[in-house]
């Protein structure tokens, strides 16, 4: 069965600090997809990134970067020079090609960025 | 393009009643999925519809049902409401290509409170 673990329940940082959110997944499929979503206080889940299991290239988008390592089944997310607007709950999710579009979410990491 | 819309945004019901929630996907998206979010259980997959057919279903009792119309709009219904059904219900839509799970875009959710 598929499973996503986000061991960090809550992280607090001071603005401009770098922060890494951890995500570890379990799946028996050889083809799968990993996602990160952001949920600000407004409640709407905002899509950040999608990565398929055959693409282990790290990705950078502005202050955001993702490190995908199949050897450790991890898909970690780093925010560089954090800002107050980054405060939100961040979810890592997994979907398997045999499961349609079903997303299995981790429990989320609450990130608080303070001045 | 307009985003995913959900109606109503807030709903208060009493135990034993039934409720219908509505979701309009992004134009051109044919896959619609529903998720339940609670503080205790987190984000859990309810079901997915594609071309008016249920493709996948999560581990929820039969009181939870859904359907999709020819214009891709979807509704979910919960009958005989229980206190534990109080949650944020999120709808997500995506384009669908064979063999590839694309990113899902979420609506703002319907906050259901059961008294």
Give pLDDT tens digits for B50-85: 989 998 899 999 999 999 999 999 999 999 999 999
Model pLDDT for residues B15-46, shown as the tens digit of each residue: 999 999 999 999 999 999 999 999 999 999 99
From the list A33, A45, A108, which residue is nearest B101 (CB)?
A: A33
Nearest to B72 by CA among B108, B40, B25: B25
The end-to-end CA distance of chain A, in Å, is: 41
**pLDDT band, very low/low/confident/very high, at A93 (cuts 50, 70, 90):** very high
**pLDDT band, very low/low/confident/very high, at A98 (cuts 50, 70, 90):** confident
* Residue-by-residue DSSP string for A42-91: T---EEEEEEETT----EEETTEEEEEEGGGTEEEEEESS--GGG-EEEE
Q: Is the pLDDT of residue A20 over 70?
A: yes
Q: Using an 8 Å CB-CB cutoff, list chain B residues near A5.
A: none
Q: Do residue B35 and residue A37 have CB atoms under 8 angstroms apart?
A: no
Q: What angle do CA B85, B26, B93 make, to 5 degrees?
A: 45
- The residue-averaged pLDDT of A28-54 equals 92
Q: Is the pLDDT of residue B100 over 90?
A: no
Model pLDDT, residue A46: 95
Q: Is the pLDDT of residue A114 over 90?
A: yes
Nearest to B109 by CA among B42, B36, B48, B47: B36
Nearest to A33 by CA among A94, A83, A88, A79: A94
Dist. CA A34–CA A74, nearest whole Å:
10
Q: Is the pLDDT of residue A10 over 70?
A: yes
Q: Using an 8 Å CB-CB cutoff, list chain A residues near B48.
A: 100-102
**pLDDT band, very low/low/confident/very high, at A57 (cuts 50, 70, 90):** confident
- The answer to whether A53 touches A68, Cβ cutoff 8 Å, is no
Give exposure, A54-72, as e/b (b: 16+ Cβ within 10 Å).
eeeeeeeeeebbbebeeee
Dist. CA A66–CA A81, nearest whole Å:
15
C-alpha torsion A24→A28→A29→A32, nearest 10: -10
Dist. CA B73–CA B32, nearest whole Å:
8
Model pLDDT, residue B26: 96
Model pLDDT, residue B99: 62
Instruction: Work out the percent of chain B whose per-residue pLDDT is above 90.
Output: 88
**pLDDT band, very low/low/confident/very high, at B13 (cuts 50, 70, 90):** very high
**Chain A interface test: which of B56, B104, B111 (most A C-beta within 10 Å):** B104
């Amino acid at each position: 069965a598929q499973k996503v673990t986000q061991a960090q329940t809550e992280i607090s940082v001071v603005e401009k600090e770098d922060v890494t959110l951890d995500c570890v997944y379990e799946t028996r499929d050889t083809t799968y997809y990993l996602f990160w979503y952001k949920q600000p206080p407004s409640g709407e889940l905002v899509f950040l990134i999608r990565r398929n299991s055959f693409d282990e290239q790290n990705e950078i988008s502005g202050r955001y970067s993702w490190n995908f390592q199949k050897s450790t089944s991890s898909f970690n997310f780093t925010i560089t020079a954090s800002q107050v607007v980054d405060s939100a709950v961040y979810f890592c999710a997994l979907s398997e090609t045999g499961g349609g579009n079903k997303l299995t979410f981790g429990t989320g990491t609450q990130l608080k960025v303070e001045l | 393009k307009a985003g995913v819309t959900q109606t109503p945004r807030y709903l208060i019901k009493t135990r034993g009643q039934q409720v219908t929630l509505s979701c309009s996907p992004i134009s051109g998206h044919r896959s619609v999925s529903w998720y339940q979010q609670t503080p205790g259980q987190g984000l859990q997959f309810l079901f997915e519809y594609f071309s008016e057919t249920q493709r996948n279903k999560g581990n929820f009792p039969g009181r939870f049902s859904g359907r999709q119309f020819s214009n891709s709009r979807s509704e979910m219904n919960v009958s005989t409401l229980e206190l534990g059904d109080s949650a944020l219900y999120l709808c997500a839509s995506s384009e669908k290509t064979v063999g590839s799970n694309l990113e899902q875009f979420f609506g703002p959710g319907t906050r259901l409170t059961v008294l």
